[in-house]
Amino acid sequence: MKYRLNALPVKTTNGFHINDVEIDLDIEKYHYEHEGVIKGDLSKVMIEKSMKEESLSSKIGLSVKKYCNIKITIPKNVQMNQPIFLTYDFCKEDVFYSKIQFVYEENASCDFILSYQSQDQMKHFNYLVENVISHKNSKGNITVINTLNSHSMMFYALENDVLEKASITHTIIDLGGKVRLYNASSYLKEKDASNSLHTIYIGQKNELLDFNYYLKNLASNTQNQMRVEGALEDKSQKNFRGTIDFIKGCSHSVGEENENCVLLSDTCMSRSLPQMLCEEEDVIGIHGVSSGKVDEEKLFYLMSRGFSQKEAEKFIILGNFMSIINEIPSNDVRESLVHRIEDLLS
């Protein structure tokens, strides 16, 4: 069955072919009640798990009837020094529908790293809906890592509600899957709230990547930041939609979005649409995208020092990625990702 998914919040002309994406799915064919592994200091957080037999929908536009629900609450004044890991290993045509709710109570702090990875070369489907509520003075860093195999599909939908003086950062590392859809909405609802959304992606073969990000400044002195770095090879295709929306009353707020895509073949396709909507005069808005070949001066510099073109391209792209990778709160995860990216680009 064909679905039109990941629609822009404010549509542009159909001629750009970027208002949404059409995907052929059979979402009822399989369902596996997947048990992920949660590791870390769980003594100070509250975790609730249940299976829900009710509709689960998201701004991606996809709805399913049964899913695994996980609610993680970081209580008031709890400050966690080490991240908590949620790891999901897929095998035997697993299909997993899940919702994860993170509730940061007042003055709470905790980092999370979610990993989705394949253990075989079968087709897998992961549909993750994530909801975050960040209360006053809370702080969180949530990393989502997708390394599913090249036959699989990854759908990820995020909604943030960020309250007074709270800060939340999401880092999305997208390195695998035949079809990958990402939808993120963040609402800065009270003064001095801040949100950062950072993404790394690599597209290869005939893979389809589709990103739709919507960041909304609703209160004064709020800060939204969106940064996306990627690379495409072979016949891969990428659509990027980035929208920052300044609502009346969000004076002295800042919204910034940047996307950079390196094209490593003549047959890949990159479509990008940055949008900025504004009802408030006293704000700062910055947006821009760039797509093109590897910087020739950097390439010449590295090749003149004995590196092959492929090695030089790899180093340049890794350099683009490192400022985002370095934000992940785990040395082991950072090192593992660098090695994986090097392998993909080799």
Q: What percentage of the chain exceeds 90 in pLDDT?
A: 82
What's the burial of 15, exposed, middle or buried (CB within 10 Å: 0-12/13-18/19+)? exposed
**pLDDT reported for residue 246:** 98
pLDDT at residue 35 tops 90: no
Mean pLDDT confidence for 40-64: 94
**pLDDT reported for residue 305:** 86
Q: Is 163 helix (H, G, I), strand (E, B) or coil?
A: coil
pLDDT at residue 68 tops 70: yes
pLDDT at residue 300 tops 70: yes
**pLDDT reported for residue 140:** 98
Distance, in Å, from the CA atom of 167 to the CA atom of 329, rounded to the nearest integer, reads 15
Contact 236, 262 (CB under 8 A): no
**pLDDT reported for residue 61:** 96
**pLDDT band with cut points at 50, 70 and 90 for residue 29:** low
**pLDDT reported for residue 215:** 98
Distance, in Å, from the CA atom of 142 to the CA atom of 114, rounded to the nearest integer, reads 8
**pLDDT band with cut points at 50, 70 and 90 for residue 33:** low
pTM of the model: 0.95
Residues 6+ apart with CB under 8 A from 217: 188, 224, 244, 245, 246, 247, 250, 253, 254, 255, 280, 283
State the alpha helices, DSSP H only, in the chain: 296-303, 309-325, 331-345
Contact 228, 203 (CB under 8 A): no
Mean pLDDT confidence for 276-294: 93
Mean pLDDT confidence for 264-290: 94
**pLDDT band with cut points at 50, 70 and 90 for residue 301:** confident
Give the mean pLDDT of the chain: 94
Distance, in Å, from the CA atom of 225 to the CA atom of 243, rounded to the nearest integer, reads 11
Mean pLDDT confidence for 27-47: 80
**pLDDT reported for residue 34:** 61
More confident residue, 114 or 14: 114
**pLDDT band with cut points at 50, 70 and 90 for residue 294:** confident
Q: What percentage of the chain exceeds 70 in pLDDT?
A: 97
Q: Any idea where the domains of the chain sit in the sequence? A: 2-294
**pLDDT reported for residue 149:** 96
Residues 6+ apart with CB under 8 A from 77: 106, 107, 108
**pLDDT band with cut points at 50, 70 and 90 for residue 28:** low
136-193 confidence digits (pLDDT tens): 999 999 999 999 999 999 999 999 999 999 999 999 999 999 999 999 999 999 999 9
Rounded to 10 degrees, the C-alpha dihedral 60/18/273/258 comes to 50
pLDDT at residue 4 tops 90: yes
Mean pLDDT confidence for 82-105: 93
Dihedral (CA of 141, 223, 271, 309) sign = negative
* Torsional class of 16: left (φ above 0), alpha (ψ -120 to 50), beta (otherwise): alpha
**pLDDT band with cut points at 50, 70 and 90 for residue 270:** very high
